């Protein structure tokens, strides 16, 4: 039986995503350790008196022999997880400036893996959101309103060509399913030639498992009536959230990311005051899923979002304006 008198102390763990030429350095945890035998990102406990960045530089050197400039470290995500026998706060940072050739200095096998080859079940349970955060871009592009007539679809395809976002959420609530599907076919071709993944927006019946369709993004009114993930695990599931309770529900659906906002007032929703960066930070830090800041933001706000525990920014204007 668990000893309930024992204080439950959270262990602060510094975790390093070391990137080189599209691959990430992965180690296998020794069998005798906690979560032994599973794959992991290099890292370890933050010692008393150390900053997380100092712990990362030290752990990376001790475990792999690589030398990392402290200033090259960028925040990825922070994840609290209760393993039952141990509570951890995984404080995850990335660098692409590690110098040297890595070796498993503690006898652990290491290898460079492409993020698309990571398999959830080969990592400790707490790593699922980390894997999502590593694969997701810093900027999530959303399409502006698409009228049934007019040139808005043409404008969208030209913006795709010009800005080449990694992921586009095709939002067109004003179109019925049939028209939406028609639009999807055309935009999919533009996305493929621009190298962008296309995420369907709306109810689950809008989603089709076609090559090039990268996922489904649920508006909150659709997410709230679901109690299970509506798409397979190989594609993205995103949810638009506005409160901590909504994020918690998105997590139970198995969402891979959420958007949270509006952070600042936007021209499209002038009546909504915006939750502000402080509330964004509080909710993003408690989330167990990558969180994009949404609403009234520009590309220069990406560091503001990531420093506050977010994945980056999502929106329309920051990427598809004509200038």
Does the protein bind ligand 8GT through residue 13 (CB under 6 A)?
yes
Does the protein bind ligand 8GT through residue 157 (CB under 6 A)?
no
User: Which range touches ligand 8GT (CB under 6 A), out of 17-25, 69-77, 119-127, 156-164?
Assistant: 119-127
Nearest to 163 by CA among 180, 140, 146: 140
Does the protein bind ligand 8GT through residue 35 (CB under 6 A)?
yes
Min. distance of Cβ 1 from ligand 8GT in angstroms? 22
Please give the backbone phi and psi of residue 284, each rounded to the nearest 5 degrees, phi first.
-65, -40
How far separated are the first and last CA of the chain, in Å rounded? 64
Nearest to 43 by CA among 69, 62, 24: 62
Helix H or strand E encompassing 75: strand 74-82
Does the protein bind ligand 8GT through residue 40 (CB under 6 A)?
yes
Report the distance separating Cα 177 and Cα 204, nearest Å: 11
CA-to-CA dists, residue 249 to 184, 221, 280, 288, angstroms? 28, 12, 17, 11
Residue closer to ligand 8GT, measured from CB, 40 or 281: 40
Residue closer to ligand 8GT, measured from CB, 33 or 298: 33
Residue closer to ligand 8GT, measured from CB, 29 or 224: 29
Which of 33, 96, 145, 252 is in the footprint of ligand 8GT by CB under 6 A?
Answer: 33
Does the protein bind ligand 8GT through residue 66 (CB under 6 A)?
no
Residue closer to ligand 8GT, measured from CB, 72 or 108: 108
Nearest to 188 by CA among 210, 166, 162: 210
Helix H or strand E encompassing 192: helix 177-194
Does the protein bind ligand 8GT through residue 88 (CB under 6 A)?
yes
Does the protein bind ligand 8GT through residue 124 (CB under 6 A)?
yes
CB 165 within 8 A of CB 141: yes
Does the protein bind ligand 8GT through residue 90 (CB under 6 A)?
yes
Residues of the shown chain interacting with ligand 8GT in the complex, contacts defined by CB under 6 A: 13, 15, 33-35, 40-41, 43-45, 86, 88, 90, 124, 126-127
């Amino acid at each position: 039986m668990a000893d309930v008198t024992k204080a439950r102390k959270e262990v602060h763990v510094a975790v390093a995503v070391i990137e080189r030429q599209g691959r990430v350095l992965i180690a296998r945890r020794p069998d005798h350790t906690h979560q032994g035998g599973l794959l992991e990102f290099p890292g370890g406990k933050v010692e008393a008196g150390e900053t997380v960045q100092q712990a990362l530089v030290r752990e990376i050197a001790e475990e792999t022999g690589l030398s990392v400039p402290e200033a090259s470290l960028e925040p990825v995500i922070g994840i609290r997880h209760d393993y039952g026998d141990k509570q951890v706060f995984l404080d995850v940072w990335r660098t692409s400036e590690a110098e040297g050739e890595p070796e498993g200095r503690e006898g652990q096998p290491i290898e460079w893996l492409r993020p698309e080859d990571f398999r959830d079940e080969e990592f400790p349970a707490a790593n699922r959101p980390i894997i999502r955060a590593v694969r997701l871009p810093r900027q999530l592009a959303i399409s502006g309103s698409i009228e049934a007539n007019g040139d808005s679809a043409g404008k969208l395809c030209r913006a795709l060509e010009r800005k080449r976002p990694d992921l586009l959420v095709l939002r067109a609530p004003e179109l019925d399913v049939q028209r939406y599907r028609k639009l999807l076919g055309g935009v999919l071709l533009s996305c493929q030639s621009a190298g962008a993944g296309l995420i369907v927006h709306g109810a689950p019946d809008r989603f089709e498992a076609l090559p090039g369709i990268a996922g489904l993004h649920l508006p909150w009114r659709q997410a709230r009536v679901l109690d299970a993930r509506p798409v397979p695990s190989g594609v993205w599931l995103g949810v638009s959230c506005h409160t901590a309770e909504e994020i918690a529900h998105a997590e139970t659906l198995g969402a891979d990311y959420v958007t949270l906002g509006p952070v600042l007032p936007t021209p499209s929703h002038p009546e909504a005051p915006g939750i502000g960066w402080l509330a964004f930070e509080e909710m993003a830090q408690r989330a167990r899923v990558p969180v994009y800041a949404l609403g009234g933001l520009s590309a220069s706000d990406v560091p503001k979002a990531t420093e506050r525990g977010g994945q980056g920014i999502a929106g329309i204007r920051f990427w598809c304006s004509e200038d």
